[in-house]
Structure formats: C-alpha cells, structure tokens
Structure 1
C-alpha cells in the first residue's frame, strides 16, 4: 500500500455528496466558489505591458513558486503507477528527465496534465494544477502501488511554506544572463531534460523548456535560497533588459503560448469514476471549481475534451496499458477539435469598453486586462458567421506583443481554417450568474478570425 504523508481530503463530506446536494455536476460547478486561478505574487513589478513584451524582446523572470502543487512520489512502483495513469509512453524516462503527463479517464476524456520532474531513481515531483495530481494519488491508493506520496501544496493552501522555489527565466537575452550568473557557459541540456548549473554561490536544477518561444530554463532549489537566487538574477539581468513578471502578465502567458490549462476534469459523472468522487473531499479543487462562460451545455459531458482536441496526439503511446486506452484507440481516427487562436477585431474590444458608459444592463461583460477570464474553467461559445456552435474559447487575453485581444480556443477540425471569420460570444447566459463576482450585463458577439499562431511573420522581437 502507498504511504501518504499528508492526507488532505479525509474527515469531510465527499465530492459526490456535494454533487448530489447541488442536483448534479452542472449545478455544483455553475455555482462554484473558486473564481479565477490565483497567482499569489505581486500583480506588477513595473507595468504588465512591458512585462509581457520582455519575454519576447529582452528577458523575463517569472516566479512559479506559489500557484502549483507538487506531488512527490517515491518508491519502486513509481513508473508502473505513472504508466497506469498516463497516456504517454515512459520508455527512457527517469532521473534528470521530464515529461508532460497526460491523464485521461476511462472514457478517454481529459483529467488533466502536469509536468513530471525525474528527480532521481524512482523519485518524481509531479507539478501542476490539482486534477492530474489528485488522480495519480487516488490511483496509487486504490491499486496499492508501492510508493510514498507527499503533497507540497500551493501557497494558498500551505501553512508550512513551500519546499522549493521555482523560477523561469526566458527571452532573447536570457542566455547572456545565465552565463553571467554561472560564471561561464552552461552545460548542454537537451529539450525537456534537466541539468545543473550555478546562480552565484547556489547550485540549481533546471528544466529546458520554452514558454515564450525563446530559449530559457525553469529552475528550482530549496526555498530558503529563493531571495538570494532571485536577487542574483536581477542584478545580473539589469544590463540585459530583464523584468520581473507579476501576476497580471503571468496570467496571460498561457493564452500566448498555447497551453489550455483550464480544461474541466472528466470525472464528474461516469459510473467508472464514482469511486474517485466518493474518495475526494468537498473542500477539494474539484468540488469548488467554478464553471463559467457563454456556452450552456445540457450535460456535464458537453464540456469534456479529449487529448486529441488539445493537440496532444503526438504524446499518446499505445505501447502500454493505461486508464482510457481502449477509448482513445476507438476514437483516434474520428473527427476532433483543433486548438487555434482567434484574433479579435480591434474595434470589438473598444465597443465593449464603450458599453460601460451605458445605463442599466446595456453594458457588456467586463473585459479585464490583460487576462480576461474570470472563472476557474471558462467555455465561451465560438460560432460561425451563421450562428452555429463550432467550438469553445477557453482563454482570452490582451497581449502587448500582438497589440490586441486573442482567444485560445478549440474548434471543429473542418472549421480550423486560417483567416476564417468567427464570433466569440462574450458574457454569461442571459447576462446573469450565481457568481457575485460577475455583474449584470448584456451578452454580445465579438468578431474575429481564426489563426494557427498568435503572431504574424516578422513580429518576433518587435511586438508589432
């Protein structure tokens, strides 16, 4: 049996009881309590516009220490457990390597994703939002894998304080900053592998991956070293245009980079996942998650997405048995959705802002800048020009790099055509919601065009 060092969901009502009391999962989630996903760092260090452009024009330092949970899994059954839960292949995965975990339910729909950090032999830290981590822990307990599990919760739930800091430095001038703090060239670290180098007197462990499309690393170490490491980076980066990125700009990163982080985990309804719902707490991420946006489904299943819809096709490996394998094999050649960006017509955002001067409910839903999403999981209708539903806008942001508004969306494959005109329906159903954070408003349709990338040719480094 697994050893659970921190038990976060016992002695409360269950997720299933919450669903039953709300009259079903839609009732629970539409009345959810989470609001937006918090990034508990300073909102701005300078101003969010320049902080956004820094990751494309100079260098940006992001503090990832607080908003993600770490699930630490150790023991001889680490790889068997991950293989049981993950649709990825795990051949060759181990110490000083990383992988994006893709977890699906028995029906093949997404539970969630997270990053696996191979810390050592039979030792991983799974870092990300709660759904995938909770699914791993549940299956470890259910099937009795020989592992120990420790949760290093995100800061808002962590009275003990974080075990590790986690920073990310990326951008065109990041390489020069790294060499300066390391005292010379860095070791060669292949993509999605890890390596070690120095930040001043401290050794850090780094993952090579890209957020902004420019080279850089995510690196970590003991939290008590955080301030010295950060200050060393900031001092070295001053001559290279380095900016710290605050919570406002960081919230828009996913929209630019193309990562749909706010999918709805697909374990709210099926008989196969009922045991999870009975295991999970009424205080959990899943029980408090808030579902919002202009799309109104008839059932919770209308909100589920598959890894094919999110562009994870290349990561799926049918070389091992895993939860949901049969379902994914069955649907792999069927039509799917495709991830795209929708570029808003500039005048549309101006029209929404102008509506705030109108009396009564003539105003449209408030358009926060830079990240406009306002719930934990947002599904805004994407329609063709005739008003037919073709997909969902999941994340909408203004970005100074595009000089405009973009929505990261999934649309039907046959509609995912560069330059095709579409409408994003902006606002809550009937202009009202149980969420007290959402004001009364009038729903509106926003004109835009589909694009397969957020930036046009020649914009790299210019922000034009």
Structure 2
C-alpha cells in the first residue's frame, strides 16, 4: 500500500477494491475459499551471503534455533530500547538466502545494519508496484478459507498436509515450481504462494479455474483489509526510530520520502513526545516471538520488560449502539457528525485512540474494522494488563481533539465516547 497526500492508505490499481461485493467476499473467507493477490502492495527483500543468517538473528527477537531451509517466521525487530521498529514474513529459501515480505520498515532496518555493520552479505529491496518501474519481483497469492486445501489438491500432485504451519516447500503447479507457505489468514488451513512474477497470471488462472466447484472468489482489497484485525496483527505503527543518539545515523541514512519519513498519526490521543506513541513487541502481544536464547538489538530492555510487562494486546468489541451512533450522527442537527470511516475497514493508518477507565488512559485502540461474520465493530488494543481480562468494560474516545485535524482529508467532526468490551486477540476460532 501507499499513502495519498492526506496520509490515507491507497491500494495499487492492479487489484480491484471489490470483485463482486465486499460482503460476499468476506462470506467466502469463512464459508468457501478466496484468492487474494498480495503481489502489488508489499515489498520483497532478498538477503543473501555468508553472514545473512547472523545479521537476521542479530536484529530479530525471534529464536533462530532450527531455522532451516523450508521454515518461515514473523521476524520481529526492535530498537536498542526494545521498542518496535517493524516485522515481516521471513523465509529461509537457501543455506545463505532469505526472503522477507511485508511492509518496508523492517527491510530498511536490515539494509542499514547490513551496510553499517560490514556484514558479508547483500540485500535487495523489491518495492511494491507503486514504487517500481518493473513490477513486482514475485507474485504472492493467498488461498484461504475452509475449502483452500481442496482447491490446492486440484492444482498439484504434491502432498500438502505434510507442511507444518509457517513452513513451506516447493510444489509444482502447471509445470512451474513455486513456494507454498502453510498459512491461515482465515483461521483455517491456507497457503501463501510465491514465485517469479512472470508466471503469476498462469498460476492465478489455474487456481481460479480449479476453485470454481469449491466456491472460490477473488478477494478485493476492501474485503482483505479487515482480516488482520481479527488476527491481532497491527499493520500500521509508529516505528521507534525518531529519537535517541543510537538511532541518529539510521535516521540520516533514510530518505525523506520513505514510509518512515511520511508516516502520519491519527486518533484522539495527542502528545508532543513521539516516544509516547512507541510500543514494544510485548505491548503488541508478540511475547511468544521473543526468545532470549541469543543476543539481539533491544534484548536487555525486553528482558527487563518481560519480567513485569505493563501492557498486552486484546480485542475491543465496540458497543453496537455506540458504533451505529457514529453513522446516525449524520442525521442529527445538534452538532457536527462524528468522524466517519469506510466499511469494513477504513484506510487510515496510525490510529491511537485513547482507551479509558474513567478519566485514566489505560491503552490505545489501534487498527479497527467491521467483522461481517460477527456483525460487530472491533479494534486491536494495547491495554494495561490489569484491564486485559475478557469481559472487562472500558471506553475509548473516537475522533480528533476538538474535532479538528491538520489533515485536509479529515472532515470537521465531533468527538464521541465509545463503550467497548475486552475480548481475546486473535478474535477467531483457530483451525489452522
């Protein structure tokens, strides 16, 4: 994804917003099967060389014990103070070769440290379509939903059930070798397929033809957006790079027009101190991806935090009447309407809506979406641990301070308080 002049995420034109309609497409996620095309909105970074493994191990909180060819992980990276910089799906595709896919902050951090640290390795970032003259390096498709395994069995003779979760192997589809990563954005057995972009149309056509009898639908970007919220994956965040002498050389290394240089913040929480917007991997609920079996950037700070963490990740389930009231405010004359958003998920990034217990700020409500299968508005929340039990009632403030934003694409509005109930994160049955 990229940002328009107002800071709103926009999707590349190569993938439709809707192929049928977003409700039917989201039903297919839960009831049949979908094909999602991620080829154009994420970057891919190739890291290779004798020191590639040690570089990635040094920068990632994850354990690299047993990280052999054919394995993947959500690589989590932090600054020296243990605050989150970024993450990406990292696959080991050769003894000295790795590919990391996703948003670009983690890739920039890898590229800088490789260069500054004198590692015997090379890296190349293949940007998303909007930043590339040559198109993507890989095609990346997700086949997700209850019928995903059936569709995959129609297009390949290779066995698939022997691939453990977040492992991959090379399979043959239509005479072409591609990587099949065991995945599960729908909470079911699913696959993320990756291979040379030049054969992407062939693979797509084969999958769609085979999937017809299984109810496959193409997933537009509008229906793809809310899936990460139920999984508890915060897709947009303030990378913790803007302060500190230890990070100065990195800031100077980055270009002004990068993700980091153009990031915008939205929401009711307002602070003049950018560090108030930093979150740690523990705040984001990534505790299980932190392992102190190796030395990594930010280890000392995260070891101390892990002993008595302040916050954790939960789902907030919005009160139905309060959520509906946002749209009902369009028909009331007493005050300005509340801040509006697109369904099923608005394309604003960087939300920090302050979560309250009375007058006390106890967390941030971040990525939010309408869950069609639950008929609920939900959001991911980093919350003080004492309020993290399911069923706890809290509230959060929706809308910018005084109903005004320096961003010209945000309409004048009135703030409102939304009641919410704490629920687990991820917020779906996991049958992966």
Distance 1:55 1:199 in 2: 23
Within the alignment, does 1:378 sit opposite 2:351 as a pair? yes
| Deviation by residue 1:13-45 (Cα, 9 ceiling, x = unmatched) | xxxxxxxxxxxxxxxxxx985322635520001
| Deviation by residue 1:94-144 (Cα, 9 ceiling, x = unmatched) | 322111111010111001111111111110111111111111111111111
Task: Give me the CA root mean square deviation.
Answer: 2.0
Q: Provide TM-score, normalisation by structure 2.
A: 0.94
Q: Provide TM-score, normalisation by structure 1.
A: 0.88
| Deviation by residue 1:231-286 (Cα, 9 ceiling, x = unmatched) | 11111111111111101111111112111121211010111101111111111110
Within the alignment, does 1:229 sit opposite 2:200 as a pair? no
Distance 1:198 1:34 in 2: 41
1:441 aligns to what SS in structure 2?
coil
- Contact 1:67 1:154 (C-alpha < 8 Å) held by counterparts: yes
Correspondent of 2:371 among 399, 423, 428: 399
CA shift, 1:373, in A, is: 4.8
Correspondent of 2:385 among 413, 426, 430: 413
How many pairs does the alignment contain?
427
1:43 aligns to what SS in structure 2?
coil
Cα 1:138/1:111, change in 2 over 3 Å: same
Structure 1 residue runs of 4 or more that deviate by more than 6 Å after TM superposition: none
Within the alignment, does 1:122 sit opposite 2:96 as a pair? yes
Alignment-derived partner of residue 214 in structure 2: 240
Within the alignment, does 1:214 sit opposite 2:188 as a pair? yes
Distance 1:163 1:216 in 2: 22
- Contact 1:352 1:367 (C-alpha < 8 Å) held by counterparts: no
Distance 1:341 1:265 in 2: 22
Distance 2:73 2:32 in 1: 28
Alignment-derived partner of residue 77 in structure 1: 51
1:378 aligns to what SS in structure 2?
coil
CA shift, 1:175, in A, is: 1.1
Alignment-derived partner of residue 178 in structure 1: 152
Correspondent of 1:45 among 10, 16, 19: 19
Distance 1:237 1:118 in 2: 29
Within the alignment, does 1:36 sit opposite 2:12 as a pair? no
- Contact 1:199 1:233 (C-alpha < 8 Å) held by counterparts: no
- Contact 1:32 1:290 (C-alpha < 8 Å) held by counterparts: no
Alignment-derived partner of residue 397 in structure 2: 425
- Contact 1:95 1:119 (C-alpha < 8 Å) held by counterparts: yes
Alignment-derived partner of residue 19 in structure 1: none
- Contact 2:318 2:378 (C-alpha < 8 Å) held by counterparts: yes
- Contact 2:63 2:291 (C-alpha < 8 Å) held by counterparts: yes
After superposing the two structures, state which structure 1 stretch, 153-162 or 310-319, moved more. 310-319
1:73 aligns to what SS in structure 2?
strand
Distance 2:172 2:103 in 1: 29
Distance 2:328 2:414 in 1: 13
Alignment-derived partner of residue 290 in structure 1: 264
| Deviation by residue 1:158-180 (Cα, 9 ceiling, x = unmatched) | 11111110000011111111111
Unaligned runs of 5+ in 2: none
Within the alignment, does 1:279 sit opposite 2:253 as a pair? yes
1:138 aligns to what SS in structure 2?
helix
- Contact 1:187 1:197 (C-alpha < 8 Å) held by counterparts: no
Cα 1:179/1:423, change in 2 over 3 Å: same
Alignment-derived partner of residue 107 in structure 2: 133
| Deviation by residue 1:183-223 (Cα, 9 ceiling, x = unmatched) | 47436111111112233333321111221210011011111
Alignment-derived partner of residue 15 in structure 1: none
- Contact 2:187 2:428 (C-alpha < 8 Å) held by counterparts: no
